[in-house]
Amino acid sequence: MDGVRPRPIDAVAVLVAECLTPATGYTGPVLVVLLAAAVPVLWMRRAPLTVAWVSAGTAVALLALNVIAGVPPPAGALIWPPTCAFAAYGVMAYAGERQSGTQRWLPVMVLALAVLALPDRLPVIFRTETAIALATLYGMYVAVQERLRRELAERDERVERERLAGEMHDVVTHRVSRMVLQAGSLAMAAGDERGRAAAEEIRATGAEALGELRHMVALLRRGTGEGFDLGLPLPDLRSLVTESACAGVPVELVVDGTPVPVSGVVGRTAYLLVQEALANVRKYAAGAEVRVRVRYLPGSVRIGVRNTPGRPDAWVAATGPGMGLLDLRQRVKVAGGTLEAREDGDGGFHVEATLPTS
């Protein structure tokens, strides 16, 4: 992953720390130790916690040197130790997901407290605490920005996966559902048992393929946040299209307008309306051509289910008892909408509900 490899900017940070080190005024072996302590800054992306503890350990070691050997820190240091700002930034920016909050904050606190042990160096204390605070805040900002970038990238990936799932569903389901319907009709019209069994096997295989396709689409859409109570657009109606196709009634789904968020009760009502309307088509108009149309209008959404007259010789799977128009009208009314159900002039039937989107 690119985020854990040293970059040219990290080498620049090492050079800056190295340049600040002679300004501390230390000489001899102590200066060599400080210069060596600045080198790990190059790996603050790969091992930010280790780099932070190296810097904190250097600060504690210098304090111990002051107490044991009586070597006080020089007064001319810009910040103390020179790597403190880089260590604080690195541990906050790059260790957020790999370490707990306590593990990240502990070396920063050691750095901030170590400089307070120099009461006679108030300008150094002020500059160091300011540098640590600014580096910590900027590191937290970078971590949040990176997390948001990843989340947006994951969201775009989920949206693309959902789009591909929808296209696959629309293309394949339309073709296979017609195969299932024709196989069901062939099973009814077959003159011998062998032909009838072969047609029924084709129908069953096609229905099974539609079921597997539905399951595959559900897997592709998993994690996209779909649901009835999340303030999202209407629930996906393609599952009902697949279910109807498996039962022998192909359905055309048309969506007009830009989907907008709806309440949970509106989403459930819209789903139930289409489900019951398709069930009634299978029960009373087998072999009909069906179109489900969803139209998003300002402040409302209209869901219509229209079917042509059925065919007496059409095959359709058995349908259990469903909800009557009176009960369905009551459900739509509870959701704040209106329901219209009427016969068409050509013998078909049309059900349309208008539901609020706000």
Q: What is the pLDDT of residues 177-224, one digit of tens each?
A: 777 777 877 877 777 888 888 888 888 887 777 767 766 666 565 544
Extract the tokens encoding 180: 């299932």
Q: What's residue 228's pLDDT?
A: 37
Residue 260 forms part of a structural domain? yes
Q: What's residue 268's pLDDT?
A: 80
Q: What's residue 226's pLDDT?
A: 43
- Helices 238-246 and 122-189 pack at an angle, to 10 degrees, of 20
**Same domain membership, residue 18 and residue 136:** yes
Residue 162 forms part of a structural domain? no
Q: Which domain holds residue 73?
A: 2-152
Which of 92, 123, 152 lies at the terminal end of a domain, its last residue? 152
Distance CA 198, CA 193 (A): 9
Q: Among residues of the chain, what percentage have pLDDT more than 90?
A: 24
Parallel, antiparallel or unpaired: strands 290-297 and 251-256: parallel
Distance CA 322, CA 23 (A): 85
Q: Where are the alpha helices (DSSP H) in the chain?
A: 8-20, 28-38, 48-69, 84-94, 101-115, 122-189, 193-221, 238-246, 264-284, 325-334
**Same domain membership, residue 125 and residue 33:** yes
Residue 275 forms part of a structural domain? yes
**Same domain membership, residue 342 and residue 244:** yes
- Overall average pLDDT of the 270-291 stretch: 87
**Same domain membership, residue 144 and residue 10:** yes
DSSP 141-186: HHHHHHHHHHHHHHHHHHHHHHHHHHHHHHHHHHHHHHHHHHHHHH
Q: What is the pLDDT of residues 70-127, one digit of tens each?
A: 666 666 677 888 899 999 999 999 987 667 778 899 999 999 998 887 777 888 889 8
**Same domain membership, residue 125 and residue 251:** no
Q: What is the pLDDT of residues 43-64, one digit of tens each?
A: 999 899 999 999 999 988 888 8
Which of 211, 355, 340, 341 lies closest to 271 in space, CA to CA?
355
**Same domain membership, residue 142 and residue 50:** yes
User: Domains in the chain: how many in total?
Assistant: 2
Q: Is 198 helix (H, G, I), strand (E, B) or coil?
A: helix
**Same domain membership, residue 136 and residue 7:** yes
Q: What's residue 206's pLDDT?
A: 79
Name every residue whose Cβ is closer than 8 Å to that of residue 36 and which is 6 or more positions away in sequence.
Answer: none
Q: Is 287 helix (H, G, I), strand (E, B) or coil?
A: coil
Parallel, antiparallel or unpaired: strands 251-256 and 349-356: unpaired
Which of 125, 152, 179 lies at the terminal end of a domain, its last residue? 152
**pTM of the prediction?**
0.53
Residue 267 forms part of a structural domain? yes
CATH number where 273 lies: 3.30.565.10
Q: What's residue 334's pLDDT?
A: 78
Going from the C-alpha of 267 to that of each of 49, 244, 306, 335, 351, the distances in angstroms are 48, 20, 20, 9, 17
Burial class (CB in 10 A: 0-12, 13-18, 19+), 210: buried
Residue 166 forms part of a structural domain? no
Residue 88 forms part of a structural domain? yes
Residue 328 forms part of a structural domain? yes
Going from the C-alpha of 248 to that of each of 182, 190, 213, 243, 275, the distances in angstroms are 9, 17, 16, 9, 15
Distance CA 19, CA 41 (A): 13
Which of 126, 152, 178 lies at the terminal end of a domain, its last residue? 152
Residue 80 forms part of a structural domain? yes
